[in-house]
């Protein structure tokens, strides 16, 4: 009697960082800022013309992500939409959403944070270790249950944590934040092959959409 071969399935995961937000320069984590209608429309048009073939969307609940997800579903009601806290950006604590101009007295805290975010945690912010493990656990649960090509609309920090987890990088390395740039409205593509176990391949990082 011959042993049956393991069925192999491959799925595409597209990680989209939301469009450039409106408002003064600041660290926007959980602060619910919007993206302009024009920018959202440009992203939507580009995604439509690229024919990526995703049949499901998962999105952060913050409106800079969820508004685009809803527009895409309005265009194509067959898309399965999941709104989840799993993909939320980190929380920058007391300085979350505070314009840099209005926080000049806190500038040394910003500089220390940018120099080494794992060590220099902003006041009452989510520690980097906690953020990394939160996203890693969400990613593992997501990939274990994945059964269709999916677009995940989320945040720059979220995508960095996913890449650090998938590539087994040291998430405490400051270069991951100062050197790896995940710009607004860019697409990162990860392919998942399900066989005897899950195999992940990073196909593209930070492709600009507009």
**Neighbour-count burial of 148, counting CB atoms closer than 10 A to its CB (0-12 exposed, 13-18 middle, 19+ buried):** exposed
**Annotated binding residues:** 64
Given pLDDT bands bounded at 50, 70 and 90, which one contains residue 7? confident
Question: Residues annotated as binding site for substrate?
Answer: 64
**CB atoms inside a 10 Å sphere around CB 104:** 9
pLDDT band at 5 (very low <50, low <70, confident <90, very high): low
Angle at which helix 37-50 crosses helix 63-75, to 10 degrees, equals 50
pLDDT digits (tens, 9 = 90+) for 128-149: 999 999 999 999 999 999 999 9
The string of pLDDT tens digits covering residues 27-81 is 999 999 999 999 999 999 999 999 999 999 999 999 999 999 999 999 999 999 9
Q: pTM for this structure?
A: 0.95
DSSP 8-state symbol, 142: H
Q: CATH fold of 9-91+127-208, please?
A: Rossmann fold (3.40.50)
Provide the 3-class DSSP secondary structure of residue 202. strand
Q: Which residues are catalytic?
A: 18, 89
Do 193 and 138 meet the contact criterion of CB atoms below 8 Å apart? no
């Amino acid at each position: 009697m011959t042993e049956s071969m393991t069925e192999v399935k491959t799925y595409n995961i597209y990680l989209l960082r939301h469009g450039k937000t409106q408002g003064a320069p600041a660290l926007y984590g959980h602060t619910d800022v919007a993206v302009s209608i024009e920018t959202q429309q440009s992203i939507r048009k580009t995604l439509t013309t690229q024919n990526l073939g995703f049949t499901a969307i998962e999105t952060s609940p913050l409106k800079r992500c969820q508004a685009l997800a809803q527009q895409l579903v309005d265009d194509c009601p067959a898309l399965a939409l999941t709104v989840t806290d799993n993909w939320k950006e980190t929380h920058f604590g007391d300085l979350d959403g505070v314009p840099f101009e209005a926080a000049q007295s806190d500038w040394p805290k910003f500089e220390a944070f940018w120099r080494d975010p794992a060590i220099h945690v902003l006041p009452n912010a989510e520690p980097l270790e906690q953020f990394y493990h939160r996203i890693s656990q969400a990613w593992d649960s997501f990939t274990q249950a994945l059964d269709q090509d999916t677009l995940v609309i989320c945040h720059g920090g979220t995508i960095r944590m996913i890449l650090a987890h998938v590539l087994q990088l040291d998430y405490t390395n400051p270069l991951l934040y100062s050197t790896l740039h995940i710009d607004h409205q860019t697409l990162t593509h990860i392919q998942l092959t399900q066989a005897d176990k899950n195999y992940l391949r990073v196909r593209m990082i930070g492709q600009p959409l507009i």
